[in-house]
């Protein structure tokens, strides 16, 4: 089976409509950004920065942010928002001797080869610096989720089991990230935290963001249009809005050259005080 990071067609599908991606994809909670900035890092490398949705959050806190992004169309939008971006995949990118206080990857680390990517992070992260990969995992209200599940099972079988838009991401991206960090041997033991927040989409806002997901973008245009029509009708029937609860999951570790991590079974854990 092909690993997700090897599916370059899906990985580079987001640039088909970068403006839609930028306006419709969710942001990240302030508590997450605050946690990652605990040590007052100044130089931040954002891997797979896309249009700079996360990069701008760090820049707004006074950090100097450099993005690495394989898609020139996405990078162009990030640049218009004031983010410096260098084109390429992290695995092949040349840092030219530079080092960083913090390396992040927002909703993108699953598109990076976990072994080669972690090795590249270790090479550019200063001793004691932090690496943090994070993902938004959304959850629907039960009644609307049931309607969506029925529609997707009928019109887009397969997506109903794995679609992030349906809240079915699962913990595999976190486990793979943690396993690669541990196996690399240059980091502290990886830890996880979840930051919970809420956002309500209008019907049109929800339909606007669905085609930015790579699995939806891969559908034939006519089938995608039919799917969006029925999803819109389901939202109308449930009050015209999509109230989402997001858990933003963070996998993080510090660069510690002399630390060799012992193998352990890793389970994602919620941050203290999160529910």
Claim: this prediction has a pTM higher than 0.85: yes
Pairing label, strands 241-254, 125-139: antiparallel
| 18 assigned to some structural domain | yes
Return the residue matching tokens 């067609």.
9
| 136 assigned to some structural domain | yes
Give pLDDT, residue 3. Answer: 52
| 120 assigned to some structural domain | yes
pLDDT at 181 over 70: yes
Q: For the chain, how are helix, strand and coil distributed in percent, rounded to 5?
A: 45, 25, 35
Contacts 24+ apart (CB under 8 A), 57-66: 57/27, 57/28, 57/30, 57/33, 58/33, 58/102, 58/104, 59/83, 61/33, 61/37, 63/37, 63/102, 66/100
For the chain, the domain total comes to 1
Residue 270 binned pLDDT confidence (cut-offs 50, 70, 90): very low
CA dist 13 to 114, 202, 205, 216, 234, Å? Answer: 20, 25, 20, 10, 27
User: What's the pLDDT tens digit per position in 69-102?
Assistant: 999 999 999 999 999 999 999 999 999 999 999 9
The 3-state DSSP class for residue 176 equals helix
Domain boundaries, position 79: 4-140+167-201+245-254
Tokens of 275: 């529910």
| 149 assigned to some structural domain | no
Return the residue matching tokens 């939806």.
216
Residues β-bridged to residue 192 = 251
Total H helices, total E strands in the chain: 12, 7
Give pLDDT, residue 8. Answer: 45
Identify the helix (H) or strand (E) that includes residue 146. Answer: helix 142-155
Pairing label, strands 241-254, 191-202: antiparallel
| 125 assigned to some structural domain | yes
Over range 11-35, report the average pLDDT. Answer: 86
Q: What is d(CA 60, CA 30) in angstroms, rounded to the nearest whole number? A: 11
| 157 assigned to some structural domain | no
| 73 assigned to some structural domain | yes
User: Of 242, 268, 265, nearest to 167 (Cα)?
Assistant: 242
| 173 assigned to some structural domain | yes
User: Could you give the percent of the chain with pLDDT greater than 70?
Assistant: 87
> With 0-12 CB in 10 A as exposed, 13-18 as middle and 19+ as buried, what is 158?
exposed
Give pLDDT, residue 169. Answer: 79
> With 0-12 CB in 10 A as exposed, 13-18 as middle and 19+ as buried, what is 6?
exposed
Tell me the CATH number at 38: 3.40.50.150
pLDDT at 147 over 90: yes
Tokens of 161: 């089991």
Give pLDDT, residue 70. Answer: 95
Q: What is d(CA 207, CA 151) in angstroms, rounded to the nearest whole number? A: 14
Contacts of 60 (CB under 8 A, 6+ apart): none
């Amino acid at each position: 089976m092909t690993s997700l990071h090897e599916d370059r067609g899906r990985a580079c599908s987001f640039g088909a409509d970068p403006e839609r991606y930028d306006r419709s994809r969710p942001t990240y909670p302030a508590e997450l950004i605050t946690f990652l900035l605990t040590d007052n890092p100044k130089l931040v490398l954002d891997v797979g920065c896309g249009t700079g949705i996360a990069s701008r959050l760090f820049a707004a806190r006074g950090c100097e942010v450099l993005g690495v992004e394989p898609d020139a169309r996405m990078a162009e939008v990030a640049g218009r928002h004031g983010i410096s971006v260098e084109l390429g995949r992290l695995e092949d990118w040349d840092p030219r001797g530079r080092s960083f206080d913090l390396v992040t990857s927002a909703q993108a680390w699953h598109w990076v080869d976990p072994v080669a990517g972690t090795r590249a992070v270790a090479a550019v992260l200063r001793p004691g610096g932090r690496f943090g990969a994070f993902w938004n995992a959304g959850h629907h209200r039960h009644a609307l989720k049931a309607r969506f599940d029925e529609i997707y099972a009928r019109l887009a079988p397969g997506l109903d089991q794995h679609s992030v838009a349906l809240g079915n991401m699962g913990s595999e991206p976190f486990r793979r990230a943690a396993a690669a960090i541990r196996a690399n041997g240059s980091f502290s033991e990886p830890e996880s935290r979840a930051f919970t927040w809420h956002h309500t989409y209008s019907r049109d806002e929800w339909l606007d963001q669905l085609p930015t997901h790579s699995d939806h973008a891969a559908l034939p245009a006519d089938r995608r249009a039919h799917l969006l029509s029925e999803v819109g009708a389901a939202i109308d029937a449930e009050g015209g809005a999509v109230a989402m609860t997001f858990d933003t999951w963070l996998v993080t570790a510090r660069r510690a050259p002399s630390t060799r991590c012992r193998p352990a079974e890793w389970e994602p854990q919620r941050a203290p005080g999160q529910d």
